[in-house]
Amino acid sequence: MAKRGVPEGLWIRCPHCKATIFRKEAESRFNVCPECAYHFYLPAHERIKQLLDSDSFEEWYRDLQPVDPLNFRDRVVYADRLKAEQAKTGMADAAVVGKGYIRGRSVVFGVTDFAFMAGSMGSVVGEKLTRAAEEATRLKLPLIFVSGSGGGARMQEGILSLMQMGKVSAALGRYHQAGGLYISILTNPTMGGVAASFALQGDITLAEPGALIGFAGRRTIRNTVRLELPEEFQTSEFLLQHGFIDRIVPRKDLRTEVARIIDYCEY
């Protein structure tokens, strides 16, 4: 008689405390470790379900598709890489934007997803975020961007990718001049050109616990400045201590905290 084994995928290992965790237990806590509160990766669609009111999200610009303007090739042709990423994630590109409600408050919402090429910012990501900021300006609604971008600007699109930093920043500048409220939520990781542009330009900047936030990696910085760096100097806790972000908010409290901030700023 065949011996029954444990089905695959029931258990996961926490990379922080090394505990073996029942997957459904972590999922019931919004993908947070029940032992040490480590915040696991959360896909864009799950982030939307967690932060926004049920069935309130209206996605915008779904027809925007990335192209390969430079005919770029590294190990894989960029056009083929895009197709593979789209098949893997079910997303057109690394950003999802639209309109929704947070505890009954209407907002324009955007999120970048690390699963799609490390959440890197190519032309489509920049265009979606720019249009979202422009719509928030037109509709006079609060704007919320959640960053999970460890890839920064997307090298396969060269200068066209780098241009997105300025384009999104300019749209956010116009939104700010119009009196809008921009709340930026940083998750693990938020790095590179994303951190150097829209992610760190919020009127209020929140971060999840233990998130890696910065421009270049630790080794690159150490080799450049030739100094020993403080332990965990690119974590959200270190940045809060040094006034770089406004507050660290556990994932389970984010929806309530964002709604509270919107109410405070409006009234």
The pLDDT value recorded for residue 150 is: 86
Q: 10 Å Cβ neighbour count for 247?
A: 12
Q: Name the phi and psi angles at 217, rounded to 5.
A: -70, 165
Query: How far apart (Å, rounded) are the C-alpha atoms in residues 127 and 133?
Result: 10
Q: Residue-wise pLDDT tens for the chain (267 aa)?
A: 444 555 667 899 998 999 999 999 998 888 999 999 999 999 999 999 999 999 999 999 999 999 999 999 988 999 999 999 999 999 999 999 999 999 999 999 999 999 999 999 999 999 999 999 999 999 999 999 999 898 788 999 999 999 999 999 999 999 999 999 999 999 999 999 999 999 999 999 999 999 999 988 778 888 888 888 887 889 999 999 999 999 999 999 999 999 999 999 986
Dihedral sign computed on CA atoms, order 95, 38, 230, 222: negative
- pTM listed for this prediction: 0.92
The pLDDT value recorded for residue 4 is: 57
Query: How far apart (Å, rounded) are the C-alpha atoms in residues 94 and 79?
Result: 15
Q: Are the C-beta atoms of residues 95 and 110 closer than 8 Å to each other?
A: yes
Direct distance between the N- and C-terminal alpha carbons of the chain, in angstroms, rounded to an integer:
69
Kind of pairing between the strands at 95-102 and 58-60: antiparallel
